[in-house]
Chains A and B, each alone.
Chain A
């Protein structure tokens, strides 16, 4: 997956979890849980959405990478096909 595609998946998943926010306007390295006020359930939904849209199973051990938009996009660019 190209970095561009990965980034698009990440922002689209975020806008689904936090519909009334604009994730595209967030700094790439901001902690999304703080910035978008996501609780653990929101975060799980985010990861679930990404797993489904990228076809790449995201394990709990991988969660730290998904704390930021950049981290999540990098992870998917490497691991998703």
Chain B
């Protein structure tokens, strides 16, 4: 029996109240699988790719692009048979009015930030790769996968000759400023020639395109709701999102989350100084052997140590929900990233405790670059189980952070500084870092927090084990 499900505006973080669909990646009639990226959502803070929680066929799109709607608003209807693994009520759904299913029994991960982070069944190709294949007009079923277990990788898709009629609109990166300008000027980004790296579209490119009159549509034409879906799927511009307004909205979002944190969470703070002599020497040696493109930063070691310590002290890794602690299923390490235009975002490095250090470094680079210029995934916005902030680049010695609710701990790293330090009764000059922990006293006591910092110290003194 067919099941109708609504795809609703997800809550991509405790501070999100509304969002707008920036781009639909599906149209009515398309088949989608649970875990496929089906829409790009613009929140106050970022542009985020959002996955479907259902498998089936898209029946209709209910909200056009660019319209800001509250969290929970139905955006699309998906009809299909739910995956067997999903506990769905046996009621005959088609007879039910749509609204009845608007509140899923099983809280979607988006609604309840994180504990049930979307479990994407391991597909033969990731949603992004499938999306890429679609864009290039490549039939993914006919691509031979070279990844683990025959997974189709991005490279596999890129190596296939696209069919001639395929619409090749490569997902060029667009800087957030460029995106906003495009919306302002009514420039269609598909017509803009990017001059940044890998064809990235920069603000200047948009300005030039606007002057040349590329896509000389009046701004109101960008209000997508009236366009046919196929055309909607191509438009990437974010309507109405004027720079100043967006900056203000982001400020408000941060204000709400941080005020809630300080109102509800009884923070306690601990700090420790860690000698990084061994860690930095190890890093130097390592970097001499690595290609420049895989070079490691001290930040990778610090993040890895924090993730491993969180795995060893599970009481600090998870959420405080309804007066109880809910442990995280793995360590998804939130990384506070400052955005160039101002503001802050803290997406997660998935399963960071288990990533090899080189892989963690690569994932960090990818995450930061997508946070600043490209796109984040819905799961990355909701699944962080503990967050790290690293203000070392700005010369800050120590940061006493504010916990991002509903998480229960925040780890801070300051700048690595050469300081006098006694070792074996002798004074020497050593590179030191101050590690801090802000933790929720409802969930843990200082003893647990102290153990955490002790483990970070121990791990950083055994860098080869990271």
Q: Tell me if B393 and A48 are in contact (CB < 8 A).
A: no
Q: Does B284 contact A (CB under 8 A)?
A: yes
- B284 CB contacts on chain A under 8 angstroms: 60
CA distance A67 to B299 in the complex (A): 20
Known: A19-B200, A20-B203. A58 touches B292 (CB 8 A): yes
The distance from the CB of A59 to the nearest CB of chain B, in whole angstroms, is 7
Residue of B nearest to A18 (CB): B340
Known: A16-B197, A39-B393, A60-B287. A44 touches B175 (CB 8 A): no
The distance from the CB of A47 to the nearest CB of chain B, in whole angstroms, is 7
Known: A47-B292, A59-B288. A40 touches B297 (CB 8 A): yes
- B365 CB contacts on chain A under 8 angstroms: 41, 45
B-side interface size class: 20 to 34
Q: Tell me if B368 and A41 are in contact (CB < 8 A).
A: yes
- A37 CB contacts on chain B under 8 angstroms: 340
In A4-30, which residues have CB < 8 Å from any B CB?
A: 16, 19-20
The distance from the CB of A30 to the nearest CB of chain B, in whole angstroms, is 18
- B297 CB contacts on chain A under 8 angstroms: 40-41, 44
Residue of B nearest to A36 (CB): B340
The distance from the CB of A62 to the nearest CB of chain B, in whole angstroms, is 11
In B167-190, which residues have CB < 8 Å from any A CB?
A: 175, 177
- A47 CB contacts on chain B under 8 angstroms: 292
Q: Does B54 contact A (CB under 8 A)?
A: no
Q: Does B149 contact A (CB under 8 A)?
A: no
Q: Tell me if A20 and B340 are in contact (CB < 8 A).
A: yes
Encode contact with A along B104-135: 1 for CB under 8 Å, 0 otherwise.
00000000000000000000000000000000
CA distance A58 to B204 in the complex (A): 30
Q: Does A57 contact B (CB under 8 A)?
A: yes
Q: Tell me if B393 and A19 are in contact (CB < 8 A).
A: no
Q: Tell me if B295 and A48 are in contact (CB < 8 A).
A: yes
Known: A19-B203, A20-B203. A51 touches B292 (CB 8 A): yes
- A48 CB contacts on chain B under 8 angstroms: 292-293, 295
Q: Identify which of B175, B203, B292, B338 contacts A57 (C-beta below 8 A).
A: B292
Q: Identify which of A20, A41, A51 contacts B299 (C-beta below 8 A).
A: A41
- B368 CB contacts on chain A under 8 angstroms: 41
- A57 CB contacts on chain B under 8 angstroms: 292
Q: Identify which of A16, A39, A40, A41 contacts B196 (C-beta below 8 A).
A: A16
For the complex of A and B, the 10 pairs showing the least CB-CB separation, nearest first, are A39-B393, A51-B292, A19-B202, A16-B197, A48-B292, A19-B196, A20-B203, A40-B393, A40-B297, A48-B293
Since A19-B196, A40-B297, A45-B365 are in contact, a sample of 19 more A-B pairs with Cβ atoms closer than 8 Å, ordered by chain A residue number, is: A16-B197, A19-B200, A20-B177, A20-B202, A20-B204, A20-B340, A37-B340, A39-B338, A40-B298, A40-B299, A40-B392, A41-B297, A41-B365, A44-B295, A47-B292, A51-B292, A52-B293, A60-B284, A60-B287
